[in-house]
Amino acid sequence: MVHVQLKKDHIRLIRDELTLHAPNEACGVFIGRHQRDSIIVDIVVPIKNSIPSDRSFELDPKEHYEAWNRADEERLDIVGVYHTHPHSKASPSAWDEQSMKNYQTLWVIAGIDGVRGYEWDGCVKQIEINEVP
């Protein structure tokens, strides 16, 4: 069972992003590292949704590339992606499931009912989020 470790401030930032960009979805990536069965998130990088929509998102390619460079500079990795559901629950939509198959990493969704983590492993599996100070 994989866990993801997110700081309280990270979760606050993602929730703020949900409000800030509503009614459209907001998105971004996590910079961090893998440690045994945990994914440790060190930095949350909001990225422009290059196709603003209330049903899907697309990471702006330029900002996504800059995030990769930043991870490299910090000697860390891009360990996941997040996006928001301003109108629905924090569960993957059909569109998300398709995207999860194509981009297999940690997926965090902030919805009206909270923040949850998922991965694609033959099907959608939930990843437990450990909130740390």
Q: Determine the Cα–Cα distance for residues 47 and 63; give it in Å rounded to an integer.
A: 6
- Under rule CB under 5 A, which residues in 29-88 are in contact with Zn ion? none
Q: How many residues bind Zn ion (CB under 5 A)?
A: 2
Q: Is 91 in the site for Zn ion (CB under 5 A)?
A: no
Binding region for Zn ion (CB under 5 A) out of 15-23, 46-54, 62-70, 93-101: 93-101
Binding region for Zn ion (CB under 5 A) out of 2-10, 62-70, 91-99, 119-127: 91-99
Phi, psi at 55, each rounded to 5°: -125, -15
Handedness of CA 99, 63, 53, 107 (dihedral sign): positive
Question: 65 with 87: CB under 8 angstroms?
Answer: no
Q: What is the DSSP string of 36-60?
A: TTEEEEEEEEEE-BSS--SS---B-
The minimum distance between CB 74 and Zn ion, in angstroms, equals 27
Q: Which is nearer to Zn ion, 53 or 130 (CB)?
A: 53
Q: Is 17 in the site for Zn ion (CB under 5 A)?
A: no
Q: What residues make contact with Zn ion under the rule CB under 5 A?
A: 93, 96
